[in-house]
Structure 1
Amino acid sequence: MIVPIKRNGVIEDWAIIDLQGDLKFEKIENSDNQLIGDLHFTKTGVPILIIGIHVLHGKEMTLEKPLVVLERHRNNIRDETIGEEDQIVKTEYIVKAIVKKKLLFKSRPKSIVTNVPKPC
């Protein structure tokens, strides 16, 4: 079976964020589109990830083999040769983005807040 792959408009460049370890969250009802932290870059291009009161310094790496992000589309097409009521499902993939870089954060996070005043 041949599955067509199409390219529509401008293809975005994405990057993978590679964290060493686990991220643990409080119980969240809907974890979709959950904000994890803030990603910044220094003037020299070093990525800095801030998660809560922790900061991680990383480095940007180029992937040996780029990855492609595809979005599946299914279209119902009426085939008149089979019958009026019969439909064929046509599947095609649209190229959404190409991943060429990886942001690697392998060092332990450092605490931003070092001295918290005690309440009176």
Structure 2
Amino acid sequence: MQIPVQVSKDGLKEWMILELQGELKCLPHITMGGRPLGDLHFNKQGVPVLLIGHHILHGAVQDLPKPVAVMRKVGADREGSEAHYLISAVVHKKVIFKNRPKPIVNAGVPRNGFAIENYDEALCIDHDLYKLYTLGSRFKGV
């Protein structure tokens, strides 16, 4: 039996696979389907950075040993009709996030007189500058 495979009319797109270690959880009353997972960025060195909620993950890009085709089944809705597949994308690389996520701490809190101490691994977002930076071993706000 032959199964016809065609490239979609939109052309062949290139996708990447995201590989996460662990488990993603949502609140019990929220479903994950159709919701954005987070924000994926690449820094100046090309390192992928994934922001999910109040957590940040740093990853690495790896080439796949063999490309993977992303296909969509078309047809075969009725009995007797033949199915065929459209190739909508091809995957050559994957982004691996194998380290534990680090918490993101809001930089606005210390400005109100609170202090954050011993957060060596914490990361901070300054909402005024929209930049991500690491905190030192001791950070005290004024």
Band the TM-score falls in, shorter-chain normalisation:
0.7 to 0.9
Distance 1:52 1:4 in 2: 42
Kept after mapping to 1: 8 A contact 2:8/2:87: yes
Task: Identify which of structures 1 and 2 has the higher relative contact order when contacts are C-alpha pairs closer than 8 Å and 6+ apart.
Answer: 1
Residues 1-120 of structure 1: matches in 2 within 5 Å? 1-9=1-9, 10-74=11-75, 88-113=80-105
Q: Which amino acid aligns with 1:3?
A: I
Q: Alpha-carbon deviation of 1:42? A: 0.6
TM-score (ref. length: structure 1) = 0.80
Gaps of 5+ in 2: 113-142
Distance 2:63 2:105 in 1: 33
Paired positions, count: 109
Distance 1:58 1:93, change over 3 A: same
* Deviation >4 Å, runs of 4+: 114-118
Tell me what 1:84 maps to: none
TM-score (ref. length: structure 2) = 0.68
* Identity among equivalent pairs (%): 39
Q: Which amino acid aligns with 1:92?
A: H
